[in-house]
Amino acid sequence: MAATTRAIDLAKAAAVAAEDKLATSVIAIDVSDQLALTDVFVVAAGANDRQVSAIVDAVEERLHSLGAKPIRREGQREGRWVLLDFGDIVVHVQHEEEREFYALDRLWRDCPVIDLEA
């Protein structure tokens, strides 16, 4: 089963919001065949705590305008890796060091990557 159209639309909106705040290494991974909990992981990196926070705020604001509210938010206090769970998608905003170290795209490499340009 592939990710739903709604999940893909939310992932693209989250990616645009992250990139508007200069996030790097933005990728969307269709995890729907591997996980029952969500359809898409969006992963983005920020250079510092302040940028990670700005990316998180922008993503939440953009997705809220599309009618999506986070079910859960984790890691905001530390500011190194923030997870936003919107049900259909989960957004991971990480410090660049965490992004490189945990390499979620490598961990989920068997899952298809969603084209964010379309």
Residue 112 in domain: no
Residue 80 in domain: yes
For residue 90, what are the β-bridge partners? 41, 85
Residue 49 in domain: yes
Q: Is 77 exposed, middle or buried (0-12, 13-18, 19+ CB in 10 A)?
A: exposed
* pTM for the whole structure: 0.94
What is the C-alpha end-to-end distance of the chain, expressed in Å?
20
Q: What is the dihedral of CA 1, 105, 24, 89, to 10 degrees?
A: 30
Tell me the pLDDT of the chain (118 aa) as tens digits. Answer: 688 999 999 999 999 999 999 999 999 999 999 988 999 999 999 999 999 999 999 999 999 999 999 999 998 777 789 999 999 999 999 999 999 999 998 999 999 999 998 5
At residue 54, the pLDDT reads: 96
Structural domain including 63 reads 5-107
Residue 42 in domain: yes
Residue 63 in domain: yes
Residue 114 in domain: no
Q: Using DSSP bridges, classify how beta strands 24-30 and 89-95 pair: parallel, antiparallel or unpaired.
A: unpaired
User: Given 3-state DSSP classes, what are the helix, strand and coil percentages for the chain, each rounded to the nearest 5?
Assistant: 35, 25, 35
Residue 73 in domain: yes
Place of tokens 């997705």: 63
Domain CATH number, residue 45: 3.30.460.10
The structure tokens listed for 5 are: 């159209």
At residue 19, the pLDDT reads: 97
Domains: count for the chain:
1
With contact defined as beta carbons under 8 Å apart, do 83 and 91 qualify?
yes
Residue 21 in domain: yes
